[in-house]
Structures are given as structure tokens and as C-alpha cells.
């Protein structure tokens, strides 16, 4: 079978993926990924150092017990833009016990309280938390948010976990016995701080949410006996495409971003505050020729924005999809290009 001709006329990374939709129909999914360096007050575009499409994703450790650093970039569609921050809370003066990290990209605005290490202790029968320890930096990861497992009683069949964040810390099930030294979450919603032993606050973070965590998992549909008999291996009839959005719910834009929105991040970088605008790149265009001289230009949408302040990186991902009649051999050629990419002032 002849391979389709691929022409990438953009300066970005490009990968055409082949997969099936909910009904098992074959499709081609062109993905364009742009990488920028974040310098003080501006972006720098390195044309010879573009990060490829990440089809496998990246965990922070063991996939069974850690969170995503980068999600697998393999879905065929996102109904709106995911906006994600990868970074660490940083104290830029003397060590302190708490700080607020702010994150804004266009309409997305979020603040998380970051607190030094605390544990639960019991004194004269009263359970209290210790005073927070001073810190200089704390990673903004779900491992430091509320959640995790309670393995304090019995065997594996009696263990429980927080389905919203199984990799977090501080979770204890109902009627659990008290244990000294249980580490509390470092990341908190300022409007819902932990006050008492047994509180179950909403886990908060800025990174990608795993597909088996709630509430994201609830959008994946019903996998019951009826599904096994009538639909398997297709996705359930009640599958919701919003499942493909992997950012926290309050970091999913109301539609697609334009790509020129303002960005402000506070207390999550060595400089304390960074501010810039997304580069204003026009969405790359995609032209697909199928057998029979059929040509299509599916719409590309900016559906993922990743800001990594630890490594001073910005990633923009545009995605399109086209349903095929038979499969990958339908595709004769794929061309991605752009009429206007204003990058000259960014190139070093």
C-alpha cells in the first residue's frame, strides 16, 4: 500500500494520526504542534527545536501511582480549548508558609493557595493540624493536592480512595481510625480550605486530569452488560465528547481560544510574575486529498495550550479530523500550511 504524501509547510511539528470515532468509522486526524520558549516579557520561537506530537504522554513517575505531566495527544477531537499550567509554586524572597499562585489565559482565571507541609496530630483527644512548615518551592502537581488512598484498615478489599484524585494526599474514608502524621494537601482551593479531620475538599491543580478520575470519567459513558452485548468494542451510546478535554473543568475555555490571548502567571516561576500574549499565530490550514481526486480542507482548532514555567516552554496544539470511507489507504496526500505566521520577530 502506497504511503500518502506528507507536506508540512509550517515551521511546526506535524503528525497525521489514524483512528476511529465512536461508531468505529475510520478517520485521519492531522495534529500541528508549535513550541515556544518563554523569555521575560516575550516569546521566542526556535525553528530547529520543535517538540514532536506526544502520542504516548508522560507520567511523573509510575503510571499506577502518579499524575500526568503531559497527556497523550491522540484524541481525534476536543470541543473546546484545554489550558494547562505545569510549574512549581516559588517563594522569591525569604521562606514563608503559604503563597497564592495565580493563572490567567484569556477567559481562564484561577488562584490556588499553596501551603507548607502540615500533618494531623492528636493532643488530649483533640485532632488538630500542625502549623505549616516554611518552604521555598512546591511542585503544582496532583500528588500535593487532596486525595489519595486510605489503607489504614484491613486488607486490599477494605481499602478506599478518592476517585477525584487517587494520587493525592490526606484522604481518609468514612469511619476510619485516626493515624498520627497524615500529611495534608499543599494545594487548596482558597474558598474551601481544609479545617477539620474528615473534611473532603475539592482536589485542585493546574495540570492534566487522568481519564479514570472523576468527574472526567463520568463523561466516558456506561460500560454495563447492555454495552457488552450491543456495543462492545465501540464506545457507549452515552459517551460525551467533553471527555476528551483533559484540563481541570475550570481550565477548559468556553469554546476555542484565538491564540492571541493575554497570559499572566504569578508565583510559579523564578521571576515571580510572567506576562505575555499568546503569539497570535493563524490556525494552520490542512488540505487532504483522497482517492478519486477528492480534496478536503477540514477546520483546524486550537484545542490545547500548555504553559510550562519550570522549563520556560509554551506549546500550542491545533487539531482537525476527516472521516474516511475505508481507512488510511483512502488518503493520497496531506498538506499543512499557513497564509500568515508572524514569527520573524520571535526567531533567534
User: How high is the pLDDT of residue 340?
Assistant: 67
User: How high is the pLDDT of residue 347?
Assistant: 46
**In the predicted structure, residue 348 carries a pLDDT above the cut 50:** no
Residue 342's pLDDT band, with cuts at 50, 70 and 90, is low
| Per-residue cell: 334 | 496531506
pLDDT mean over 281-286 = 93
User: How high is the pLDDT of residue 3?
Assistant: 84
Contact 86, 101 (CB under 8 A): no
Q: In whole numbers, what is the pLDDT of the chain averaged over residues?
A: 92
Give per-residue pLDDT as tens, 320-340: 999 999 999 999 999 999 876
Range of the domain at 265: 5-87+238-346
Q: Considering the chain, what percentage of its residues have pLDDT values greater than 70?
A: 97
User: How high is the pLDDT of residue 288?
Assistant: 97
| Structural domain contains residue 204 | no
pLDDT mean over 218-236 = 95
| Structural domain contains residue 139 | yes
103 and 159 part of one domain = yes
| Structural domain contains residue 228 | no
118 and 179 part of one domain = yes
The one-character DSSP state at 199 is -
44 and 108 part of one domain = no
Q: Last residue of some domain: 168, 188, 208? A: 188
| Structural domain contains residue 128 | yes
Q: Last residue of some domain: 188, 223, 250? A: 188
Please state whether the peptide bond connecting residue 215 to the residue before it is cis, i.e. omega within 30 degrees of 0: yes
User: How high is the pLDDT of residue 327?
Assistant: 93
| Structural domain contains residue 219 | no
| Structural domain contains residue 209 | no
Contact 88, 140 (CB under 8 A): yes
Domain count within the chain:
2
Pick from 319, 315, 299, 167: which is nearest to 245 by CA?
Answer: 319
87 exposed, middle or buried (CB, 10 Å; 0-12, 13-18, 19+)? Answer: buried
72 and 40 part of one domain = yes
| Structural domain contains residue 32 | yes
Q: Last residue of some domain: 188, 205, 225? A: 188
Task: Read off the pTM.
Answer: 0.94
| Structural domain contains residue 280 | yes
Amino acid at each position: 500500500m502506497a504511503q500518502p504524501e506528507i507536506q508540512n509547510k509550517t515551521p511546526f511539528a506535524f503528525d497525521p494520526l489514524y483512528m476511529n470515532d465512536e461508531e468505529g468509522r475510520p478517520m485521519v486526524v492531522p495534529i500541528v504542534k508549535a513550541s515556544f520558549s518563554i523569555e521575560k516579557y516575550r516569546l521566542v520561537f526556535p525553528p530547529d527545536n520543535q517538540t514532536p506530537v506526544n502520542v504516548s504522554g508522560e507520567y511523573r513517575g509510575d503510571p499506577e501511582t502518579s499524575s500526568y505531566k503531559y497527556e497523550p495527544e491522540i484524541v481525534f477531537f476536543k470541543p473546546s480549548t484545554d489550558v494547562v499550567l505545569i510549574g512549581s509554586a516559588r517563594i522569591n524572597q525569604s521562606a514563608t508558609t503559604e503563597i497564592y499562585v495565580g493563572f490567567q489565559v484569556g477567559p481562564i482565571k484561577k488562584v490556588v493557595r499553596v501551603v507548607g507541609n502540615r500533618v494531623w496530630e492528636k493532643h488530649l483527644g483533640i485532632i488538630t493540624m500542625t502549623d505549616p512548615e516554611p518552604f521555598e518551592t512546591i511542585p503544582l502537581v496532583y500528588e500535593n493536592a487532596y486525595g489519595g488512598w486510605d489503607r489504614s484498615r484491613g486488607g486490599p478489599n477494605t481499602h478506599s480512595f478518592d476517585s477525584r484524585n487517587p494520587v493525592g494526599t490526606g484522604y481518609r474514608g468514612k469511619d476510619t481510625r485516626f493515624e498520627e502524621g497524615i500529611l495534608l494537601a499543599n494545594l487548596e482551593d482558597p474558598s474551601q480550605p481544609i479545617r477539620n479531620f474528615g473534611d473532603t475538599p475539592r482536589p485542585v491543580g493546574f495540570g492534566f486530569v487522568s481519564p479514570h478520575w472523576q468527574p472526567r470519567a463520568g463523561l466516558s459513558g456506561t460500560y454495563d452488560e447492555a454495552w457488552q452485548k450491543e456495543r462492545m468494542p465501540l464506545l457507549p451510546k452515552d459517551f460525551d465528547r467533553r471527555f476528551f478535554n483533559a484540563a481541570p473543568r475550570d481550565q477548559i475555555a468556553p469554546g476555542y481560544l484565538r491564540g492571541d490571548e493575554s497570559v499572566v502567571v504569578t508565583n510559579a516561576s523564578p521571576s515571580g510574575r510572567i506576562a505575555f500574549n499568546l503569539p497570535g499565530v493563524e490556525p494552520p490550514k490542512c488540505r487532504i486529498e483522497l482517492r478519486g481526486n477528492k480534496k478536503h480542507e477540514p477546520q483546524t482548532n486550537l484545542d490545547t495550550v500548555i504553559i510550562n514555567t519550570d522549563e520556560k516552554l509554551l506549546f500550542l496544539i491545533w487539531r482537525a479530523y476527516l472521516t474516511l470511507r475505508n481507512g488510511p489507504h483512502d488518503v493520497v496526500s496531506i498538506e499543512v500550511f499557513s497564509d500568515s505566521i508572524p514569527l520573524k520577530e520571535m526567531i533567534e
